[in-house]
Amino acid sequence: MAPDMEQLIYANKKSNRTEEQQIDDLIHRYGWNMQTTGTGLRFQVYFSSHGQPVQKGHQVALRYQTKLLNGVEIFNSDNDGILTFTVGKAEVVSGLEEAVLLLKEKDKARIIIPSFLGHGLSGDGKKIPPKATLIYDIEILYVKPLN
Distance from first CA to last CA of the chain, Å, rounded? Answer: 49
The answer to whether residue 16 is domain-embedded is no
Within a domain: 8: no
Residue 7 forms part of a structural domain: no
- Structural domain total, the chain: 1
Integer Cα distance of 101 and 39 in angstroms:
14
Residue 98, domain member (yes or no): yes
In a domain, 40, yes or no: yes
What's 80's domain CATH number? Answer: 3.10.50.40
Is 14 inside any structural domain?
Answer: no
At 13 the pLDDT is 57
| Residue 2 domain-assigned (yes or no) | no
CA distance 109 to 100: 9
Is 117 domain-assigned? yes
Binned average pLDDT, 10 residues per bin, the chain of 147 residues: 58 71 94 94 96 95 96 96 95 95 97 93 88 96 88
CA dist 49 and 105 (Å) reads 7
The predicted model scores a pTM of 0.88
Q: Which domain holds residue 37?
A: 33-145
